[in-house]
Structure 1
Amino acid sequence: MAFETFQQEYLQMPAVTRAYTTACVLTTAAVQLEVITPFQLYFNPDLIFKNYQVWRLVTNFLFFGPVGFNFLFNMIFLYRYCRMLEEGSFRGRTADFVFMFLFGGLLMTLFGMFVTLVFLGQAFTIMLVYIWSRRNPAVRMNFFGLLNFQAPFLPWVLMAFSLLLGNSVIVDLLGIAVGHVYYFLEDVFPRQLGGVRLLQTPSILVWVFDRDDDPAYTPLHEDAPGGYAWGAEPQEPRDEGEREGQPDDADG
């Protein structure tokens, strides 16, 4: 019964979210089983461009460290916000969603050459969180039942939490920076006077991903809680300014 429930939930995930989270889990499992080592996965420009180990351009986004709190924390946020974006503002626009992945990954790779980061998966997760939070500014959130704030503050709360754990905030700042670049070019600049949409999804992606609607999953609507509920109950909207049907988010 438990396996059937898991299988049903897995198959209901939208395609891009399912593919990316599966790749991350399988990569981590392969490292845990010592089939491969992190030294074969990390981002190294010399090995990529001089030794032609081009797979590192992808694998450095798939490994979040050994199984533990940090891995589970990142996977929860990756799964939830990737899915919320794909089933929310990118609903029916799989090609645009894939293009966002490629655009964000390219920018992080370029920046990664200058900040000496070896794994960029966490930064990519923060990028997804940032874009979702800016597109859902009215959602109220709760972090560990201790802190209440509006959704746009979530990336900064996560960065502060990472700092408290003794981690470097460079990864979080990179994710926030890349997320803001995408958000500005896609959501802000085209709406300004004389603005144009600079990020045009290539036709080949539209041909591959958007030829047919994908009926293979059940939507996790964007008006559902935007992240993992750390034991806090959602609150009722307190004013008419809330999006219709949008509950407060219990997130963390």
Structure 2
Amino acid sequence: MEQVVGDIPPVTRSWIIAAVGTSVLVECQLIAPLQLYFSWKNAVGHMQLWRFFTTFFYFGPLSFDLVFHLFFIMRYSRLLEENSFSNRRADYIYLLALCATFLLAISPLLTLPFLSSSLAFALVYIWSRRNPSIKMSLFGVITITAPYLPHCLVAFSWLLQGGFEAAVGDIVGILAGHTYVFLQDYWPREMWSESGKGEIRTPAIV
């Protein structure tokens, strides 16, 4: 087990440990979900600054749903960190920070107290756009190429879990991921930027 955990790249590993640890603390009733969710009123008005982070760590109680989300982090965050961001840990941290900031900024428009699933879904979208030729088997039923994966998952959530409200977290994750991909990949290619690089630059302090 120690070897398996050690093989996970550091940023992804830290996120998984934080997610599992948060759920364990809630399960042991040492903390309550009400202390973790995000709202600007509590985070800024009451100076409960930890809510800026805990909203991205809590995926729910110990359950199959938690395992499902951890699988998504384990797979797609790891693939991004090991491939697109290989030897670029600061850039990957900055990617997570930008997507998290986007989600926090639009959170007043939504009823999403926890943004962890949306952040994880943003990574799924980014990975799918950067690997357009990869073919995947969706639930062992149909074969699709990677760019269709996020949309198929949204459709399944919409149809099987309760309409728009069940899928809204995934949808805003797509918006966050697409904003990053547009600025970093599409915009420079379309506008023929002189540098040939994306518009997003990781600050030196990171």
**Bin for the TM-score computed over the shorter chain:** over 0.9
The 5 A counterparts of 1:149-188 are 149-163=144-158, 164-166=160-162, 168-188=166-186
Equivalent residues, number: 200
Bigger helix fraction: 2
Q: Which residue, 65, 70, 87 being the options, matches 1:70?
A: 65
TM-score by length of 1: 0.77
Partner AA of 1:165 in structure 2:
Q
Partner AA of 1:140 in structure 2:
K
Quote the offset at 1:49 in angstroms: 1.3
Quote the offset at 1:194 in angstroms: 4.1
Q: Which moved more, 1:154-163 or 1:99-108?
A: 154-163
Aligned equivalents of 2:74 and 2:8: distance in 1?
9
* 2:25 aligned with 1:24: no
Bigger CA radius of gyration: 1
Aligned equivalents of 1:194 and 1:143: distance in 2?
36
After TM superposition, the runs of 4+ consecutive aligned structure 1 residues lying more than 4 A away are none
- In structure 1, the residue matched to 2:51 is 56
Quote the offset at 1:200 in angstroms: 0.8
Runs of at least 5 residues in structure 2 that lack an aligned partner in the other structure: none
TM-score by length of 2: 0.94
* 2:106 aligned with 1:108: no
Partner AA of 1:36 in structure 2:
I
Larger RCO (alpha carbons 8 Å, 6+ apart): 1
* 2:130 aligned with 1:135: yes
**Aligned-residue RMSD, C-alpha:** 1.2
Share of identical aligned residues, percent? 39
Give the secondary-structure state (helix, strand or coil) at the position aligned to 2:41. Answer: helix
The 5 A counterparts of 1:1-252 are 6-163=1-158, 164-166=160-162, 168-195=166-193, 197-205=198-206
Partner AA of 1:174 in structure 2:
V
Q: Deviations over 1:127-178 (max 9, x none)?
A: 0000000000001111111121110011111112222122621111100001
Aligned equivalents of 1:93 and 1:189: distance in 2?
21
Partner AA of 2:161 in structure 1:
L
Aligned equivalents of 1:11 and 1:157: distance in 2?
32
Q: Deviations over 1:24-44 (max 9, x none)?
A: 010011111111010000011
